[in-house]
Amino acid sequence: MKKLLTAAALSVTMAIPAVADTTKVGFIYIGPVGDFGWTAGHDRARAEMAEHFGDAVETTIVENVDYGADAERVMTQMAISGTDVIFAASFGYGPDVNVVAGRFPNVAFQHATGYIQDHPNVSLYDARFYEGRAVLGHIAGKMTETNTIGYIASYPIPAVIAGINSAYLHAKAVNPDVQFRIIWTYSWFDPALEADAAETLIEQGADVIMQHTDSTAAVRVAEDAGVMAFGQASDMTQFGPNAHLSAIVDRWAPYYINRVQAVIDGTWEAQNSWLGFADGIIEMAPWNDRIPAELQEEADGLIAAIVAGEYHPFTGPINKQDGTPWLAEGETAPDVDLATMNFYVEGITAELPN
Amino acid sequence: MIRLEKRKEPSKFWRIANPFLAVLLTMIAGGIMFAMLGKDPITAIRLIFFDPIFSETFGSYSRPQLLIKSAPLILIAVGLAIGFKANVWNIGAEGQYIIGALFGAGVALAFFPAPGWYIFPLMVIAGAFGGFLWAMIPAILKTRFNTNEILVSLLLVYVAERILAAMALGLMRNPDIAGFPGSRDLRRYEAAHNAELIAGTGIHWGVVAAMIAVIFAYAMMTRHMLGYHVQLAGQAPRAARFGGVSPARLVVICLGISGALAGLAGMFEVSGPGGQVRIEFASGYGFTAIIVAFLGRLNPIGIVLAGLLLGLTYIGGELGQMMLQLPGAAIQVFQGMLLFFLLALDFQTNYRIRLTQGARI
């Protein structure tokens, strides 16, 4: 036993290089780095950030970490092992991040897409995905022949609901007959469930599939069924060369480099950042050739208008689903409305899970 | 020539030895896999099996975590094992775990924010009752309509998951936070919080309940008439029937016990380590417990060891990912190897290998 203990003690000193000038950056992911979607997007940014800093930074990842006790344990172990900043790359880690942050006030926590900030060492960051959804909706509205768009949604949280609303409004604007069919999976990453959902939507007449889930399953199903689809978080063209029209591609790297630099400089402070097209945090995957040139130009124009600040995807008049007014003519949505959105806009026939 | 011969009686020696041998073989095969991934196999195995307990850096934190991770597995597996011995196959402990958590949390949320010593005991009773109730569905369908309890209990897991989602989005949603699913954090409601009983040990009421359940199950299976009936029904159902054991009664008892224990596990989790009712609350404890039950040879003491071992590979697996950058999938393969080797070795329990002279033609 004593021998074991010494061996373990030795090994730990070996495992943790006590080099003071290396900044340790930890990442916890809800899915596998090989999901080709959301988690892949974060890991791409991690790699880019690690390359940018070279030897000055050491990164470590733990993938497939469930929300709750597991996440709390992994982040605690990271903090114990001397990690300086922890990126928790999924919405549901919120309560866990804040529990651990309270215990380790000297560790910086960066929580993606969250809303809980109980401690001064918790930063929140998110992307304005609804901007990208506006572009997808515009393309979908023009491309659909059955006037039916299928939408695979994960959890009924504001970011997802805002995405559905944004896509619907912009599809409707170019195609008044368009209908949205929405399936909730209550999961971020479940390829089998997502494939089932895509098949069901296609059976219901959808010829364009949108997804707010992380796997490539829906794109593959769409390819096999000969319909169209949009990828999620990463360019998923290789899983459906014909079906894949485009995707909102997450580019967290500039933000990650910025935040880790702040940790290195000792200037890190908690923030709440919500970044969009203009910040280079999201971009569109290359347009599929089957999108007519004219429509490609329209989409590019829409992005340019959003970047320039000339256009906001939620510009009134917009009513809520029940007909009550939300935004008046010319009024744009305040951030707080989008960050807490819990209603569909007028015209969506589905019912929001409640 | 090598010949397989069925043993007259299953070998007692191999029954006990196989789990240990399986762990050893897993270390060897896993080590080879880690080496092929370009990682030092000795370091990897050490990170998974030893560092969570012995490491100076992590030990003081991960030793208590081991109890937190293993307690629900043990609590559920002990109940399942009783049923499995009697050939009553409750595959839906995950669902009973969820419903138990919802019942327990429901009591807490109904009393919020009132203080009161009686709230937590009521939650315990409600949790056990919730799991029991959910297990009674397959039990009654089986005894009345002769449906298959494997299918019914399994499918009810998916129903329970939907109820959980509905609760997190609707009835139990925290009214103070707009737009987000999930209930109030029970860890912030003192009367309902399943806190550590002794700070820094990881021992909460769920760990205590698991220990009590193990002792009771052990006593029941070895000393009590019911335990004898369970064993008899499993090994010789016809004889049991002639001996006056009612199969219907046994089905209800076995599903009831395992359901109540799974419900308790869910309740202790939601009021402690889990913290709140969220859509993603269930993380597969109910299914993993099936592996624990078999790895522990359906024996309460064995289940304690198996639960701790599986908990260790989870926590050690995270350390392996963190410190050595092992891929998460490699850890899952490693855990899978353990079960694979155990099942493969188990043939020795029932068969022996004989080297014989060449067969005459």
Contact B274 A69 (CB under 8 A): yes
Name which of A68, A77, A187 is nearest B61 (Cβ-Cβ).
Answer: A77
Interface check for A155 against chain B (CB to CB < 8 A): the answer is yes
Task: Choose among B54, B65, B179: nearest Cβ to A340.
Answer: B179
A contacts of B62 (beta carbons < 8 Å)? 73, 77
> First vs last Cα of chain A: how many Å apart?
55
Q: Which residue of B has its CA nearest to A114?
A: B180
CATH says A129-242+283-339 is which class? Answer: alpha beta
Contact at CB, A11 and B68, closer than 8 angstroms: no
Q: Which of 328-347 (A) contact B at CB < 8 A? A: 339-342
CA distance B263 to B126: 9
Tell me the residues of chain A between 249 and 268 that have a Cβ less than 8 Å away from chain B: none
Q: How confident is the model at residue B129 (pLDDT cuts 50, 70, 90)?
A: very high
- Say whether residue B178 is in contact with chain A using an 8 A CB cutoff: yes
Amino acid (one-letter) located at B63: R
A92/B contact by beta carbon, under 8 A: yes
Residue B210 lies in a domain: yes
Residue of A nearest to B172 (CA): A354
Q: Does B328 touch chain A (CB under 8 A)?
A: yes
Q: What is the 3-state secondary structure of B22-41?
A: HHHHHHHHHHHHHHHCCCCH
Distance of alpha carbon A163 from alpha carbon A182, whole angstroms? 12
Q: Please, are residues A137 and A167 in contact by the beta-carbon 8 Å criterion? A: yes
CB contact under 8 A, B273 and A353: no
Name every chain A residue with its beta carbon within 8 A of the beta carbon of B166: 353
For residue A299, what pLDDT is reported? 97
Bridge partners, residue A87, by sequence: A27, A110
| Chain A residues near residue B329 by CB distance under 8 angstroms | 32, 34
Structural domains in chain B (count): 1
Helix or strand holding residue B227 (H, E): helix B225-235
Task: Tell me the shortest Cα–Cα distance from B4 to chain A, in angstroms.
Answer: 40
Touching check for B19 and chain A: CB below 8 Å?
no
CB–CB contact A80 B57 (8 Å):
yes
Residue B361 falls inside a structural domain: no
- Apex A200 CA angle, A63 and A66, nearest 5: 20
Long-range CB pairs of A314-317 (<8 Å, 24+ gap) are A314/A130, A314/A165, A314/A166, A314/A169, A314/A338
d(CA A59, CA A49): 9
- CB atoms < 10 A from the CB of A218, how many? 31
Q: Rounded to 10 degrees, what is the CA torsion of B343, B345, B347, B349?
A: -110
Rg (CA), chain B: 22
**Alpha-carbon distance values, B251 to A244, B39, B88, B211 (Å):** 52, 49, 6, 24
Q: Which three-class secondary structure state does DSSP give residue B5?
A: strand
Number of residues assigned to chain A: 354
The whole-angstrom separation of Cα B59 and Cα A307 is: 51
Q: Minimal Cα distance from A339: which residue of B?
A: B179
CA–CA min distance A100, chain B (Å)? 12
Mutate to test the interface with A, among B279, B314, B331 (most CBs of A within 10 A): B279
Q: Which residues from B are below 8 Å from A80, CB to CB?
A: 57-58, 61
Domain assignment of residue B197, yes or no: yes
What is the mean predicted confidence (pLDDT) over B192-219? Answer: 92
pLDDT of B65-120, one tens digit each?
999 999 999 999 999 999 999 999 999 999 999 999 999 999 999 999 999 999 99
**Are A4 and B166 an interchain contact pair (Cβ–Cβ within 8 Å)?**
no
Residues facing B333 on adjacent strands: none
CB A258, CB A272: distance < 8 Å: no
What is the amino acid identity at position B286? G
B138 domain-assigned? yes
ipTM of the complex: 0.84
DSSP B284-322: SHHHHHHHHHHHTTT-HHHHHHHHHHHHHHHHHHHHHHH
Element (H, E) at B274: none
The answer as to whether B322 is a domain residue is: no
DSSP at B112? T
The CATH code of the domain that includes B79 is 1.10.3470
What span, in angstroms and rounded, lies between the C-alpha atoms of A298 and A316? 21
Q: For chain A, what is the HEC assignment? A: CHHHHHHHHHHHHHHCCCCCCCEEEEEECCCCHHHCCHHHHHHHHHHHHHHHHHHHEEEEEECCCCCCHHHHHHHHHHHHCCCCEEEECCHHHHHHHHHHHHHCCCCEEEEECCCCCCCCCEEEEEECHHHHHHHHHHHHHHHCCCCEEEEEECCCCHHHHHHHHHHHHHHHHHCCCCEEEEEECCCCCCHHHHHHHHHHHHHCCCCEEEECCCCCHHHHHHHHHCCEEEEEECCCHHHCCCCEEEEEEECCHHHHHHHHHHHHHCCCCCCEEEECHHHCCEEECCCCCCCCHHHHHHHHHHHHHHHCCCCCCCECCEEECCCCEEECCCCECCHHHHHCCCCCECCCCCCCCC
AA identity, residue B191: A
Task: Measure in Å the smallest separation between the Cα of A164 and chain B Cα atoms.
Answer: 15
Interface residue of A39, A96, A186 to substitute, partner B, most B CBs within 10 Å: A186
Rounded (to 5) percent helix, strand, coil in chain B: 70, 5, 25
Q: What is the pLDDT along chain A (354 residues), one digit of tens a residue?
A: 344 444 444 444 334 444 457 999 999 999 999 888 899 999 999 999 999 999 999 999 999 998 888 999 999 999 999 999 999 999 889 989 999 999 999 999 999 998 899 999 999 999 999 999 999 999 999 999 999 999 999 989 999 999 999 999 999 999 999 999 999 998 888 999 999 999 999 999 999 999 999 999 999 999 999 999 999 999 999 999 999 999 999 999 999 999 999 999 999 999 999 999 999 999 999 999 999 999 999 999 999 999 999 999 999 899 999 999 999 999 999 999 999 899 999 999 998 886
Would you kindly state where each structural domain of chain A is located, as residue ranges? 12-127+252-275, 129-242+283-339
Tokens representing B6 are: 């069925």
Which residues are A59's β-sheet partners? A25
Contact across the interface for A67 and B273, Cβ inside 8 Å: no
Q: Give residue-wise pLDDT tens across range B257-309.
A: 999 999 999 999 999 988 899 888 888 899 999 989 988 989 999 999 999 99
Residue A65 touches partner B, C-beta closer than 8 Å: yes
What CATH class has A12-127+252-275? Answer: alpha beta
Q: How far apart (Å, rounded) are the C-alpha atoms in residues B130 and B138?
A: 14
Residue B105 located in a structural domain: yes
Would you call B10 an interface residue with chain A, using a CB distance cutoff of 8 Å? no
Name residues 186-205 of chain A within 8 A of B (Cβ). Answer: 186-187
CB pair distance less than 8 Å for B179 and A73: no
The pLDDT of B170-179, averaged and rounded, is 83
Length, in residues, of chain B:
361
B252 within some domain: yes
| Closest of A202, A234, A212, A93 to residue A156, by C-alpha | A212
Q: Which residues in B lie closer than 8 A to residue A353 (C-beta atoms)? A: 165-166, 169
Domain containing B122 equals 58-302
Q: What is the pTM of this model?
A: 0.85
Minimal Cα distance from B329: which residue of A?
A32
Residue A76's CB is within 10 A of a number of other CB atoms, namely 20
**Nearest-angstrom CA–CA distance, B65 and B68:** 5
SS3 B3: strand
Q: Cβ contact (<8 Å) for A155 and B329?
A: no
Q: Are strands A244-250 and A282-284 parallel, antiparallel or unpaired?
A: antiparallel
